[in-house]
Chain A
């Protein structure tokens, strides 16, 4: 527990001192204010701000790679290190969501944000003071990205391309065009990549106001599968990196992750039938 805490606090220190984050966050907030604070823009702000953390994660991985000989000579082990880092970035995600919420509260209309949905030909206006759906969705959609970046942490360029790609993907394709042109929708048209819709991290902007619960299990399943799979790979390849985990725990973790992904998939498909994204936007 002490090791996890140490790694977590170390990561939080790196995040809090990252210049990129402190430059880009105010820019995003200004950008959001410029466009006006409605629900879509708030969601833009949430997802964009949190996606910045992916780039910060890669930058920290680069530093970790440089200091790893020193750190490995201590009581370091991969399980504690990765839990500590994932915990730190989860906390940072929550803090950023909280900051965005404060900005919204200060500049929104009496602290409320609103959105107009087009549903079956009708205009539905919703207004919320605490858009918890957005918080939850943004938070859980970041988990698989962090795990993916953890798995490629020793390959700086690959990690950077992944993080920037994810950020640009949200920015360019999803936010500016306000529709998911890569994946499309489940119900209409021919979209070869539409199976990606099951990965919540790739389509957070779709179904913005839909029930956030179907995001939880698939995200946890994906993150678990990625993390336990990575540990299993390290164990299989017999790297010198100390693991401190028994194969039985790995097997159990992988099985639970698969179960979570499967159940999440069922929930997600059920949700898609309820909220047809083509009619939402």
Chain B
């Protein structure tokens, strides 16, 4: 059964087209939403949470048609959402805020709610800071509090918008681990423009640049990229300054300058096909295809 279904979804703000004819059918699990800045990831997420209405098309999530107010309301009871910039009432404590969101999600029984609040705060490792005002939290802690409020009702669908942007490496790893744990039990849509985060956590990926470039399994995408021979290794005696080349990595030693590029290698170069293809290269390849 498809847990995410998009049919011809478009969204425009005046003359600006943010999303164009999106068609997707994906199953549950952990789904990575990957695209460059301004690709429409946040817009798509806002459409999926019902925060924005699409200009055209139909979307359904976990079997709920988002165009139907009753079904949208039903979805919201089993939805957890962490926005790109999680914000809180600055004078409230962490547990007060999570408790408030739990009440808004329909958890009325006080004892049950209190236990759920404690559990979710503990899950994200903020137990020691539960009674601290939210304005006193660091950036990473605020992201974790964002997760805590999203999972307090044990949602079937969890949507996380660029949670690792701006975090230090240690906090990023902790976050990935958190999300991977949550993805075992529910549908998690994880938006990011950091390729490494997707590789480490997701089995399915949606690549977006105003329109869908790819939607499906991560391994299948890598297979396609490998078959299309998208990655090349070049060794040059002088540095390459060609702005057209999509250089993935570069290094130099006494033998010369070594490059790994995506796309057509320059004519006359000693380019050799790369033995393996990573998601970063597949991503660049997709972006090149979209720009062509």
B is a partner of A: yes
A residues engaging B (CB < 8 A)? 2-3, 6, 10, 13-14, 17-18, 63, 66-67, 69-76, 238, 240, 242
Contact with A along B63-91 (1 / 0, CB 8 A): 00000010011001101111100111111
Per the bound structure, the CA–CA distance linking A3 and B46 in Å amounts to: 23
B49:A75 contact, CB within 8 angstroms: no
- By a CB distance below 8 angstroms, the chain A residues around B79 are 73
Q: List 21 A-B contacts (CB under 8 A).
A: A2-B103, A3-B104, A6-B100, A13-B89, A13-B91, A13-B92, A63-B89, A66-B87, A67-B87, A69-B46, A69-B83, A70-B82, A70-B87, A70-B146, A73-B51, A73-B76, A73-B79, A73-B80, A74-B104, A75-B73, A76-B104
B69:A69 contact, CB within 8 angstroms: no
Per the bound structure, the CA–CA distance linking A74 and B51 in Å amounts to: 11
A70:B86 contact, CB within 8 angstroms: yes
B101:A72 contact, CB within 8 angstroms: no
Report A21 CB to chain B, min CB distance, Å.
Answer: 12
B51:A72 contact, CB within 8 angstroms: yes
Report A238 CB to chain B, min CB distance, Å.
Answer: 7
- By a CB distance below 8 angstroms, the chain A residues around B91 are 13-14, 17-18
Per the bound structure, the CA–CA distance linking A17 and B103 in Å amounts to: 20
B50 at the interface (CB under 8 A from A): yes
- By a CB distance below 8 angstroms, the chain A residues around B106 are 2, 75
B83:A74 contact, CB within 8 angstroms: no
Q: Which of A13, A18, A63, A70 contacts B83 (CB 8 A)?
A: A70
Q: Which residue of A lies closest to B155 (CB)?
A: A73
- By a CB distance below 8 angstroms, the chain B residues around A71 are 101, 104
B49:A72 contact, CB within 8 angstroms: yes
- By a CB distance below 8 angstroms, the chain A residues around B87 are 63, 66-67, 70
B10 at the interface (CB under 8 A from A): no
B280 at the interface (CB under 8 A from A): no
CB-CB contacts below 8 Å: B16-58 with A: 46, 49-53
Report A240 CB to chain B, min CB distance, Å.
Answer: 5
Q: Which residue of A lies closest to B146 (CB)?
A: A70
A69:B104 contact, CB within 8 angstroms: no
Per the bound structure, the CA–CA distance linking A63 and B135 in Å amounts to: 12
Per the bound structure, the CA–CA distance linking A3 and B90 in Å amounts to: 21
- By a CB distance below 8 angstroms, the chain A residues around B69 are 242
- By a CB distance below 8 angstroms, the chain B residues around A13 are 89, 91-92, 96
Report B86 CB to chain A, min CB distance, Å.
Answer: 7
Q: Which residue of A lies closest to B104 (CB)?
A: A74
Per the bound structure, the CA–CA distance linking A34 and B175 in Å amounts to: 57
B residues engaging A (CB < 8 A)? 46, 49-53, 69, 72-73, 76-77, 79-83, 86-92, 96, 100-101, 103-106, 108, 146, 149, 159
Q: Which of A63, A66, A75, A242 contacts B104 (CB 8 A)?
A: A75
Q: Which residue of B lies closest to A10 (CB)?
A: B100
A240:B100 contact, CB within 8 angstroms: no
A75:B86 contact, CB within 8 angstroms: no
- By a CB distance below 8 angstroms, the chain B residues around A63 are 87, 89-90
Report B284 CB to chain A, min CB distance, Å.
Answer: 31
Per the bound structure, the CA–CA distance linking A97 and B236 in Å amounts to: 81
B104:A6 contact, CB within 8 angstroms: yes
- By a CB distance below 8 angstroms, the chain B residues around A76 are 104
Report B97 CB to chain A, min CB distance, Å.
Answer: 8
B81:A70 contact, CB within 8 angstroms: yes
A74:B101 contact, CB within 8 angstroms: yes
Known: A66-B87, A240-B53. A73 touches B81 (CB 8 A): yes
Q: Which residue of A lies closest to B96 (CB)?
A: A13
Inter-chain pairs besides A2-B108, A63-B89, A67-B89, 20 sampled, C-beta below 8 Å = A6-B100, A6-B104, A10-B89, A13-B91, A67-B87, A67-B88, A69-B46, A70-B82, A70-B149, A71-B104, A72-B49, A73-B50, A73-B79, A75-B76, A75-B104, A75-B106, A240-B51, A240-B52, A240-B53, A242-B50
- By a CB distance below 8 angstroms, the chain B residues around A70 are 81-83, 86-87, 101, 146, 149
B51, B96, B104: most-surrounded residue (chain A CB, <10 A): B104
Per the bound structure, the CA–CA distance linking A18 and B92 in Å amounts to: 11
A3, A63, A67, A76: most-surrounded residue (chain B CB, <10 A): A67
B89:A73 contact, CB within 8 angstroms: no
A-B pairs with lowest CB-CB distance, top 5: A66-B87, A73-B81, A74-B104, A69-B83, A17-B91
Q: Which residue of A lies closest to B50 (CB)?
A: A240
